[in-house]
């Protein structure tokens, strides 16, 4: 009986590790999005995660929500600095997420400041 319990628990832990590794290391897609950075904040009750939004239209009708891993300090610093400006975000989309990683499936890996196409001089 004790051996069966240990084997079952080991199987559950192994299955969870495989699922976690797949979700964390296998991207669904990769891409780039541009827009006005309208929000970057650290939120959560138990797990604090960095979440943000960019507006991809003039009226703000199309909002792209994203997460940033806490270990990506340079990306977080740049997002704070570029708040309210037009930015280009490089992201990785995962199949799913865990509550300690972020609220969305889109994780930002690089941020660059861009000139807004709406205001040309």
Q: Cα–Cα distance between 93 and 106 in angstroms, integer?
A: 5
Structural domains in the chain, CATH included, are: 28-113 (2.40.50.140)
Its pTM stands at 0.82
Cβ-based neighbours of 58, under 8 Å, separated by 6 or more:
118
Nearest 5°: the CA angle 83, 111, 74 is 85
Average pLDDT over residues 54-66: 83
52: pLDDT confidence band, cut at 50, 70 and 90? very high
């Amino acid at each position: 009986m004790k051996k069966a319990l240990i084997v079952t628990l080991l199987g559950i832990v192994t299955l969870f590790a495989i699922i976690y590794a797949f979700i964390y290391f296998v991207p669904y897609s990769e891409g780039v999005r541009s827009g006005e950075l309208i929000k970057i904040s650290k939120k959560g009750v138990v797990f604090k995660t960095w979440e943000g939004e960019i507006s991809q239209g003039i009226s703000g009708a199309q909002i792209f929500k994203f997460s940033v891993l806490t270990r990506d300090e340079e990306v977080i610093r740049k997002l704070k600095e570029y708040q309210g400006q037009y930015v280009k975000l490089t992201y990785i989309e995962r199949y799913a997420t865990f509550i300690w990683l972020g609220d969305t499936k889109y994780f930002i890996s690089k941020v660059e400041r861009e000139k807004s196409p709406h205001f040309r001089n």
